[in-house]
Amino acid sequence: MFDALITYRVQLLTGAGLTILVAVASLMLATGIGLLGAMAKLYGPRVTKIALGAYTTVMRGIPDLVVILLIYFGGTVTLSKLRGSYFEVEPFTAGVVALGIISGAYMTEVFRGAIQAVPKGQIEAARALGLRPFPLFTLVILPQAWRIALPGFGNQWLILLKHTSLISVVGLEELMRKSVIVAGATQQPFTIYSATAVSYLVMTILSMQALKRFERRLERSYQR
């Protein structure tokens, strides 16, 4: 029963490694979008706020799979027309961009709520000390907002980690795609997909433990 897992363990582990790489890259992009989007929503001009409101509404209303397909095929068509010759967007790039943009919409709201939760007295005190906007944000607002945003940030990471499996539809050989290939080759789908489910579960549990430890560490630092 487990012979297939032993035989194809290298392929499955390679797929798991690529899954983590996609998730981390997407998280970095989503975090950047979320921070910039939150600041623009809170402090930007009205036009920017309207545009970001439309962005978050659209991204939270369209299925993730549709967004991935649109970026993969739409990017290929657009870039091919601009180059004047066929150019195919790489599945890794399309997946990272799609998941980053999708998760960035949720991160925008997570960071916006966290920034708004920072006590106004802290901001007023920093301004009274003569801090300019950038040091005020990086030294006073962001450290406190980060602690508040961590639970929502962690939830988005867990969702993002599982949603990497959707990129398999555009041919990226991450864990889910590798599992489909191995299941077809061995004719043991139950065994392979069970192992895949356990792999995702292990990654999720380890992520949750790391997030809990980080959250406790932030709480101790804040109490000091």
Tell me the average pLDDT across 152-175: 92
Between 4 and 103, name the one with better pLDDT. Answer: 103
Handedness of CA 217, 221, 223, 224 (dihedral sign): positive
**What are the start-end ranges of the H helices in the chain?**
3-7, 9-43, 46-61, 64-83, 91-117, 120-128, 133-135, 142-163, 175-186, 189-223
At 93 the pLDDT is 92
Q: Concatenated DSSP letters for 76-139?
A: HHHHHHHHTS--PPPHHHHHHHHHHHHHHHHHHHHHHHHHHHS-HHHHHHHHHTT--HHHIIII
DSSP-assigned letter for residue 141: I
Between 158 and 136, name the one with better pLDDT. Answer: 158
pLDDT beyond 70 at 99? yes
At 221 the pLDDT is 59
At 222 the pLDDT is 60
pLDDT tens, residue by residue, 209-219: 998 888 888 77
What structural domains does the chain harbor? 3-223 (1.10.3720.10)
Which of 166, 144, 147 lies closest to 64 in space, CA to CA? 166
Q: How far is CA 27 from CA 5, 143, 157, in A?
A: 30, 19, 7
Distance CA 52, CA 59 (A): 10
pLDDT beyond 80 at 94? yes
At 1 the pLDDT is 61
What per-residue string of b and e applies to 145-182 under the rule 16 or more CB within 10 Å gives b? Answer: bebbbbebbbebbeebbebbbbbbebebbbbbbbbbbb
pLDDT beyond 60 at 224? no
pLDDT tens, residue by residue, 191-212: 899 999 999 999 999 999 998 8
Rounded to two decimals, what is the model's pTM?
A: 0.90
Which of 121, 119, 122, 100 lies closest to 27 in space, CA to CA? 100
pLDDT tens, residue by residue, 48-68: 989 998 999 999 899 999 999
Residue 40 CA, chain-centre distance (Å), reads 20
For the record, the structure tokens of 50 come out as: 């309207």
Tell me the average pLDDT across 102-121: 90
Asked if 174 and 22 touch (Cβ cutoff 8 Å), the reply is: yes
